[in-house]
Amino acid sequence: EAQVTQNPRYLITVTGKKLTVTCSQNMNHEYMSWYRQDPGLGLRQIYYSMNVEVTDKGDVPEGYKVSRKEKRNFPLILESPSPNQTSLYFCASSPLGTGSYEQYFGPGTRLTVT
């Protein structure tokens, strides 16, 4: 089944404790992206990647890092989480070159930073 998976689905952590949220897709998509969803703000892009070893900042990159060492994986790293990073996070992927720009989303990771 074609899908985007994220782990963990739920995470409660404390301020300053480094964490990684994994994202993996099995559709051989070149483009991958991370969004955060906050009430009243909709979804905002954090980082994106056009292919292996190619990443770039989205609208709200502060406090986050990403890497793209393999085509299928795009982990989101919070090196020193803070309470304002409490949010619902979504990973998405899309094939390049099809002209449709449709993105496929993972199920989400709900992060709470205390």
Q: Which chain residues interact with another protein by CB under 8 A?
A: 4, 31, 33, 35, 40-45, 48, 50, 58, 90, 92, 94, 96, 99-108
To the nearest whole angstrom, how small is the minimum distance from the Cβ of residue 112 to another protein?
16
Can you tell me the distance from the alpha carbon of 85 to that of 25, in angstroms, rounded to the nearest whole number?
24
Which helix (H) or strand (E) covers residue 48, if one does? strand 42-51
When the beta carbons of 17 and 73 are compared against another protein, the nearer one is 73
The H or E element containing residue 92 is: strand 87-94
Q: Which lies closer to another protein via its Cβ, residue 3 or residue 82?
A: 3
Task: Tell me phi and psi for residue 58, to 5 degrees.
Answer: -95, -145
Q: In terms of CB distance, is 43 or 77 closer to another protein?
A: 43
Q: How far is the CB of 16 from another protein (least distance, A)?
A: 28
